[in-house]
Amino acid sequence: MVKISFCGISGSGMSSLAQILKLSGHEVQGSDRNFDLGRDKQNKAALEKMGIKIFPQNGSGITPDLDFVCASTAVEDSIPDIKAAKQQNIAIKTRPELLTETFHSYKHGIAVGGTSGKTTTTAMVGFILDKAGKKPCVINGGLLKDYEGKSAIANIIYNKGDICVVEADESNGSIDLYNPYISVINNISSDHKTLEELVDLFQRFANRTSHCAVINNDYPLCREITSDTDILTFSIKNPKADFYASDIIPLPQGTRYNLRGKTFTLNLIGAFNVANALSAIAVCSQMGVDVFEAARILQDFHGTKRRLEVIGSKNDITVIDDFAHNPDKVRASVSALRQYSGRLIIMFQPHGFGPMRSLGKDIMAEFAAHMTDEDILIMPEIFFVGGTVTKDISSADLIAHFKTLSKAEAYFFADKNEAEEKILSLAKPHDRIIIMGARDNSLTDLCHHILEKL
């Protein structure tokens, strides 16, 4: 047993790892600036309930009996906990380093990579393996709707087995740390790095895979990936792929598709989720789960929070919560929503000034390409939680660029409260209100508040 303090423990990636280590018998504590600011109260209460002690992020929890401190990549060296650890010569590990150590302690490590769809695919793989009795440990970045109430924060599946399923993050380069038994490359598209950098990252990822790489045949850059180990391909376009879905039909609350002559349904909308399902089915086939049994199990899968999640409807207006934050995710979400009738009122809150400098115009181009002239785009200012950054771009700049590409109405507001007031003033029957963005846990609360006020 070791004693660990997590700095930034409320984050989705940190809280999942903290819970797994607590359940594995280690002594776990932590701090988070959001707790100190009165945010994420549910997370704080949930972690405390499972025996994880929460300290203020003022250095008071950093004591000599700690084996090490695990620091989120979102925290700076200047915060008191990190300063205190350095002053006391306590080892500091990043979350990717600790997650990699945990991952490699299992016999069969399944690492799900790609610039989009990692969270949902990881959840699908874990759900299939769990329901099939394979006893996986799953460390995820999103909340698993089917596991609410089964753990403090529902971003894990905990079993005492020999399989570990994780998201392999390319944005910070930590994907380079994994040596997986099975790897997944869901897609390669513009995100935090250049396409050339991403191809190199994913090629190295495939090269380090010991058993099988599962790769999306529908992305040209994915088709460039080679491997000395086996490759399984999946596709919703190419019948020659190892796992191919045809006859994809949108349903009122999901999607129907055909796989190898049999018809299955998903409780999720969008052809991209069928692709995610194929990826998960391919992985699980390599872990001894029959292909049709895996597809059947997925018919009971209800997805992850904030992935086109319907919060509710009132007065014939539907409120949807979505995590989309890069061009590929925006394209997938908006094109899926366009398969259904009704005007879209989208509030998109970008995060990160650096990402918006490099990707902001591409994101606006995706909105413009998939929204109609009747739809409405609303943007509050770029989400910022502290730290030293260059604030040389604004959501106002992105809205101005969007207006050069589309005739749809578009508005910039300094904060979310003003944006909410505008949404409520515009909403009418048959509209769908989508609150879109990452990193800000209060966006889900905003969805519920809008629904209440409709």
CATH of domain 106-298: 3.40.1190.10
Alpha carbons 253 and 447: distance in angstroms, whole number? 19
Alpha carbons 198 and 191: distance in angstroms, whole number? 9
CATH topology of 3-95 equal to that of 309-453?
Answer: no
Domain boundaries, the chain: 3-95, 106-298, 309-453
Asked if residues 427 and 317 have their Cβ atoms less than 8 Å apart, the reply is yes
Asked if residues 184 and 279 have their Cβ atoms less than 8 Å apart, the reply is yes
Residue of 215, 385, 401 lying closest to 393 (CA atoms) = 401
| Residue whose entry in the numeric block shows the structure tokens 């349904």 | 265
Task: For residue 54, count other CB atoms closer than 10 A to its CB.
Answer: 20
CATH of domain 309-453: 3.90.190.20
Asked if residues 198 and 221 have their Cβ atoms less than 8 Å apart, the reply is yes
Q: Give the Å distances, CA to CA, from 161 to 21, 129, 331.
A: 14, 11, 37
HSE-up (13 A, CA, CB side) for residue 452: 6
Q: What are phi and psi of 422, to 5 degrees?
A: -65, -45
Q: What are phi and psi of 344, to 5 degrees?
A: -105, 125
Specify which residues 5 forms β-bridges with: 29, 69
Compute the C-alpha angle 218/221/223, nearest 5°: 60
Give me the amino acid identity at 159. N
Alpha carbons 63 and 34: distance in angstroms, whole number? 22
State the pLDDT at residue 258.
98
Where does residue 407 rank: exposed (0-12), middle (13-18), buried (19+ CB within 10 A)?
A: exposed
State the pLDDT at residue 196.
87
Alpha carbons 51 and 29: distance in angstroms, whole number? 8
| Residue whose entry in the numeric block shows the structure tokens 């069928």 | 274
Q: Split the chain (454 residues) into runs of 10 and give each run's mean pLDDT.
A: 95 93 96 92 94 97 97 82 96 94 97 90 97 96 88 91 93 86 90 80 95 96 93 97 97 93 95 96 98 98 90 94 89 90 95 87 95 96 77 93 96 94 96 92 93 95
CATH of domain 3-95: 3.40.50.720
SS3 for the chain, per residue?
CCEEEEECCCCHHHHHHHHHHHHCCCEEEEECHHHHCCCCHHHHHHHHHCCCEECCCCCCCCCCCCCEEEECCCCCCCCHHHHHHHHCCCEEEEHHHHHHHHHHCCCEEEEEECCCCHHHHHHHHHHHHHHCCCCEEEECCCCEHHHECCECCCCEECCCCCEEEEECCCCCCHHHHCCCCEEEECCCCCCCCCHHHHHHHHHHHHHCCCCEEEEECCCHHHHCCCCCCEEEEEECCCCCCCEEEEEEEEECCEEEEEECCEEEEECCCCHHHHHHHHHHHHHHHCCCCCHHHHHHHHCCCCCECCCCEEEEEECCEEEEEECCCCHHHHHHHHHHHCCCCCCEEEEEECECHHHHHHHHHHHHHHHHHHCCCCCEEEEECCECCCCCCCCCCCHHHHHHHHHHHCCCEEEEECCHHHHHHHHHHHCCCCCEEEEEECCCCHHHHHHHHHHHHC
Structure tokens at 282: 């391919």
